Chains A and B, each alone.
Chain A
Amino acid sequence: MNALKVPARTIALFVLPCLLLYVCLVFVPIFYSMYTSTFDWNGIGVKKYIGLDNYVNILYHDKVFWPAVKHTLLFAVFSMLEIPVALLIATLLNRYVRKPNFFVSAYFVPVILSVVIIGQLWKTIYNPASLGGMINQTLDSLGLHSWTHSWLTEPDIAMYALYFVALWQYLGYHLLIQFTGISNIPTEIYEAAKIDGAEGFKADWHITFPLVVPIFKISIILAFIGSLQSFDMIMVMTGGGPAHATDVIATHMYNMSFASSKFGYGSAIAIILVIVCLVATVIINTAFNKLEKKIG
């Protein structure tokens, strides 16, 4: 390998400022959380060492934790189901539209907005008709009054209303990624396939889809990890309520740590979240590597 020989001092000068800041603000906090998670502590009073009791309580006695896990996983499933849809739309755009970039850029607009804007906008859209909510007013004017709901305060519906907003916001993101993946496939391959008699969806099936598998994998990982960490939009829109109906792992952690000041307990949930994220990344990566080997 060609490399510059430089004195250790220079290396330190280049690396240490960034590395130290990074380690201090990412790794040290995680280890600090591990340490805190073994205490019963409200942040101010006396720390009481309780070993792994926090973890035991979360896994066996916490009435909110497992529903939150379910909401998180369901969210991950919906987000991953969105990706084939995005791939299909990207394929259609590529095939039927003369200026696909216009559509892709337009679909992308919600992605660049802050969760606060998106969350508050949708809260307004979901409002009861008497408060100017768009959906309920539409249903009312169509004579479908029985279909109107208080979308964010009915426990059975609230979580789905939130999933919908997240899927709505990120459709453009996944679409863009898939579309770029498709655009990067060399045209010659399609021309060769045409000579061999493969055109249209046949060509898509045999060329486009196998060739976008790596991109597809990235999207799946992003969607999965993104939904495990899904958090700020829920905090903005419902804060986990009504009665924990929209709590996910991260909001439960936040509410425990900051609203209930159970620092030890909150830290333990944080550590569980970290572990779940690491394990999930490894599993998805291995699964796709196998799939790629199979196809390749």
Chain B
Amino acid sequence: MNQALTSSAASLAKPARKRVPIARISVLTLLGILLVTQLYPLLWLVLYSLKSNEEILSGKFFALPKSLQWTNYKQAIEAHYWQYLYNSVFVTVVTMVCVIVLASMVAYAITRFKWKLGPVVMLIFLMGMMIPVQSTLLPIMMIFKNIPGLMGTRWSIILPYIAYQTPIAVFILSGFMRTIPLEIEESAHMDGASIMRTFRSIILPISVPPIVTVCILTFINIWNEYILAATFISSAKYKTLPFGVNSFVSQYSSNYGAIGAYLVLGALPVIIMYFVLSEKITKGMVAGAVKG
């Protein structure tokens, strides 16, 4: 959402404001209530995570914690938090890099190379977008079990993650690459640059905006993914954050404060990213939705 559009929207709203203040007040009230319903549960969770078990069970949910129970956080962090965080970062970053490299190469080939099968390849990727991911869980597991040493490792989730993310990435990247003028590559070609070189030093740098979009979509999807990780991984050594959070919650089901603390810690990395990059993230998610 850019500035110009926002200000134009505001100027549109002006006459309406003058004429019907009551309407404006009621609309703002409605939007305010919505703000509370969307954000209060998260705030509540933060308070909850700082309370002792007695305070939580006392039934006064409005009350602020009497003294901040940082021990809840200590307990949560001691339960493999850093390990899970590291695993999530590792899995997400590797997936991201692979998706961008693989998808941009395919997108380039589809939009630029002269070959008959280009549209067919595109169609294969587009069709795959309609296949529900969950239905591939069982067969992928059966296939992976035949490959020794794969099941249960980080790679057993990274490979499917890459596959799930490529279609939308190919779609977004090829949509962009189609708009790059061919003259740029022609002159590079005349200067003796190879295809690989042109791709690396010209096409990729120009394509940074769609690559950022792909990065954001991949980050949100993979960082938050739970079910595949929970199905394929069993060792605490490789658990990703969502899976780790869920195991902690089911294991310490009566330690309410610590559960709250673990949930807050689980949400924190994404929330911090959102504070820093909110506009990029919302834009990326819209691009992913609209182009998908």
Contact = CB atoms under 8 A, between A and B. Distances in A.
Does B bind A?
yes
B5 to A, nearest CB: 4
Contacts of A271: 135
A256 to B, nearest CB: 9
B134 A113 contact: no
A112 B220 contact: yes
A17 B102 contact: yes
Interface in B99-148: 102-103, 105-106, 108-110, 112-115, 121, 124-125, 128, 130-140, 142-143
Query: Which of A100, A112, A176, A266 has the most C-beta atoms of chain B within 10 angstroms of its own C-beta?
Result: A112
A26 B157 CA distance: 14
A281 B130 contact: yes
B30 A218 contact: no
Contacts of B106: 14-15, 18-19
A92 B27 contact: yes
Q: Is the interface of A mostly helix, strand, loop or mixed?
A: helix
Interface in A265-296: 266-267, 270-271, 273-274, 277-278, 281
A257 B170 CA distance: 31
Contacts of B102: 17-18, 21
A117 B88 CA distance: 15
Interface of B: 1, 5-6, 8-13, 15-17, 23-24, 27-28, 30-31, 34-35, 37-39, 41-42, 44-45, 48, 56-57, 59-61, 102-103, 105-106, 108-110, 112-115, 121, 124-125, 128, 130-140, 142-143, 159-160, 162-164, 166-167, 170, 182, 185, 189, 195-196, 199, 220, 223-227, 231, 241-243, 245-246, 249, 256, 259-260, 263, 266-267, 270-271, 273-274, 278-279, 281-282, 285-286, 289-290, 292
B245 A109 contact: no
A109 B131 contact: no
Interface of A: 1-6, 8, 10-11, 13-15, 17-19, 21-30, 32-33, 36, 43, 89, 92-101, 103-117, 120-122, 124-125, 129-132, 134, 137-138, 140-141, 168, 171-173, 176-177, 179-180, 183-184, 187, 190, 199-200, 215, 218-219, 222, 225, 228-229, 231-232, 235-236, 250, 253-254, 257-258, 263, 266-267, 270-271, 273-274, 277-278, 281
